[in-house]
Amino acid sequence: MSIAILLTAFIQTATPAAMPTPTADPEKRICRTSGVTGSRLGAKKVCHTRREWDEASAVARQRMERIQNGAINTGQ
């Protein structure tokens, strides 16, 4: 019984054959729904290109890293 479980776990963790990843079009328009905290009705649809979404994610990631490292700019 335990051998069967171990074999099943091993088979599931085996790496599948490498599939070629399609190149993502940076100019493809992507729309996301942005909700308002505390409201079920205030959702807005926000559309940007893949490049713009990636840039916004990078900026947000950098800000979070700065905050976590204690380098907060308080504006004073």
Q: Is 6 contained in some domain?
A: no
User: Which residue segment(s) compose the domain that 49 sits in?
Assistant: 29-36+43-74
Q: Is the pTM of this model over 0.95?
A: no
Q: How confident is the model at residue 48 (pLDDT cuts 50, 70, 90)?
A: very high
50 found inside a domain:
yes
Q: What are the helix (H) ranges across 1-76?
A: 2-13, 50-68
Is 48 domain-assigned?
yes
Residue 49 within a domain: yes
Mean pLDDT, the chain, whole residue set: 81
- Whether 65 maps to a domain, the answer reads yes
User: Could you tell me if residue 24 is inside a domain?
Assistant: no
Split into its structural domains, the chain has a count of 1
Q: Is residue 2 part of a domain?
A: no
Using alpha carbons, list the distances in angstroms from residue 22 to 19, 25, 52.
9, 9, 19
